[in-house]
């Protein structure tokens, strides 16, 4: 039987959490590299945070649907 690990026990969770936190730090301006490009860093940070969150959510949804035994996978 193929059992699914809890989300917080997976590498994907920790990597997406790290990417989301770094994205939020960039988006908030806490990690500005150059003041002239601060809006670019904030935009990139926001995009990174959103994509990391969506990627993790899609990954977990796929894993759960494959192991749920509903026969759709």
End-to-end alpha-carbon separation of the chain, Å?
A: 15
**pLDDT, tens digit, 9 for 90 and up, residues 19-46:** 888 888 888 877 766 666 678 878 888 8
Domain encompassing residue 46: 8-30+37-63
If one counts the domains in the chain, the total is 1
Q: Is 80 exceeded by the pLDDT of residue 55?
A: yes
The reply to whether 1 falls in a domain is no
The reply to whether 68 falls in a domain is no
The reply to whether 49 falls in a domain is yes
Average pLDDT over residues 54-63: 88
The reply to whether 2 falls in a domain is no
The whole-number pLDDT of residue 43 equals 86
The reply to whether 51 falls in a domain is yes
Among 57, 28, 69, 67, which Cα is nearest to 45's? 28
Q: Describe the crossing of helices 38-67 and 11-28 by its angle, rounded to 10 degrees.
A: 160
The reply to whether 73 falls in a domain is no
Among 15, 16, 50, 48, which Cα is nearest to 40's? 48
The reply to whether 21 falls in a domain is yes
The whole-number pLDDT of residue 46 equals 87
């Amino acid at each position: 039987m193929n059992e699914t690990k809890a989300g917080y026990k997976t590498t994907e969770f920790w990597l997406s959490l790290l990417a989301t936190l770094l994205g939020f730090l960039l988006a908030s301006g806490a990690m500005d590299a150059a003041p002239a490009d601060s809006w670019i860093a904030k935009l990139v940070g926001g995009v990174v945070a959103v994509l990391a969150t969506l990627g993790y959510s899609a990954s977990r949804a796929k894993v759960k649907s494959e192991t749920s035994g509903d026969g759709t996978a």
